[in-house]
Structure 1
Amino acid sequence: MSTSLLYLVKRTELAVRARLDELLRPAGITALQYTALTVLERHDGISAAQLARDSFVTAQSMADMVRALEGRGLIRREPNPANRRERLILLAGPGRALLAEYAGPARALEQRMVADLTADQTAAFREALVTAWRALS
């Protein structure tokens, strides 16, 4: 009997997270915090709820993460002009600098993950992951 795809996906996700945590340790951030920063890099000025959804964490975990990242000056919060009760989260200059510093090493980690795949296999792997995510979303 072959290994469950769910198991293989989870095992891969845990390996990626462990390698990212190692890579980011000198910066003093976790893989989850890095993920949140990359989300802000693509979608700056979003709510904490949206950031939590896009970063794959709970709202409570995001609240703690926002406090930590804001305390380090990596993000900032501003009032939402469309909703006075909500604050938008934006990537601050030091957060952008951190992402720029780790962009190459993160790309190298991704390349290491697919090193034994051809370019066509890598493209198919990427498409398969997107398709699987869409099917479950």
Structure 2
Amino acid sequence: MTASLNNQQDSCQCPKVGPLPPHTDRHDGRTNVSTSLLYLVKRTELAVRARLEELLKPAGVTALQYTALTVLDRHDGISAAQLARDSFVTAQSMADMVRALESRGLIRREPNPANRRERLILLAAPGRRLLSEYAEPARRLEERMTAGLSAKETDAFREALNEAWRTLS
């Protein structure tokens, strides 16, 4: 399966996102969507998600489920509420996602020793294997996204995105 994953990046049939429309300055106070950062960030997020969905299709997980698994890989043994916040979904969406991931054996739940009413979510061995198997294809997708940038520009892009997130959080 790993060999098929290595070839999958090059054969991704995800919808292509076209180039930016030509820049035209607007003097009427309305936002030019081709230069609006909100528009550009959302368009990029949708392109990344489409390609990630295609990449993950053989594993039978969605991009959002993959995000939750990567959160657990970094912060194992957290509550569903915290997992929802860190995965950028609602608590209800996370409840459904946890059931789906648990039924596939990718995660497990255990009682929280500090709060008997709460259960902690942990990454199970099959979830760790899935993340390990898809780490390289996901890294290549990220490299593809920044292929037109130098290493210095990629670092600056990463820092700018983090700063924008910190400012809005």
In the superposition, the TM-score normalised over structure 1's length comes to 0.99
Q: CA deviation at 1:24?
A: 0.1
Residues in 2 aligned to 1:48 and 1:56: alpha-carbon distance in whole angstroms: 12
Aligned residues: 137
CA positional deviation for 1:101: 0.2
The superposition leaves residues 74-97 of structure 1 with CA deviations (integer Å, 9 ceiling, x where unpaired) of: 000000000000000000000000
Partner of 2:131: 99
Amino acid at match of 1:61: S
Instruction: Report the equivalent of 1:109.
Output: 141
Q: Report Cα offsets for 1:53-89 as digits up to 9, x if no partner.
A: 0000000000000000000000000000000000000
The answer as to 2:73 corresponding to 1:33 is no
SS, match of residue 119 in structure 2:
strand
Which sections of structure 1, spanning at least 5 residues, go unmatched? none
Q: Which of the residues 54, 76, 79 maps onto 2:111? A: 79
Structure 1 letter corresponding to 2:167: A
Residue 123 in 1 paired to residue 155 in 2? yes
Q: In the TM superposition, what whole-angstrom CA distance separates every residue of 1:15-63 from its partner, at most 9, and x where no partner exists?
A: 1111000000000000000000000000000000000000000000000
Separation (CA, whole Å) in 2 of partners of 1:59 and 1:125: 30
Moved over 2 A (4+): none
Let me know the Cα RMSD of the aligned residues: 0.6
Whole-angstrom distance in 1 between the partners of 2:49 and 2:90: 17
Identity across the alignment (%): 84
Structure 2 CA distance, aligned partners of 1:86 and 1:53?
16
Q: Secondary structure at the match of 1:69?
A: helix
Separation in 1, partners of 2:86, 2:43? 21
Letter in 2 for 1:30: T
Map of 1:9 onto structure 2: 41
**Partners of 2:76 and 2:47 in 1: CA distance:** 28
Task: Tell me the equivalent position of 1:22.
Answer: 54
Q: Which residue of 2 aligns with 1:53?
A: 85
State TM-score, norm by structure 2: 0.80
Whichever residue aligns with residue 99 of structure 2, its letter is R
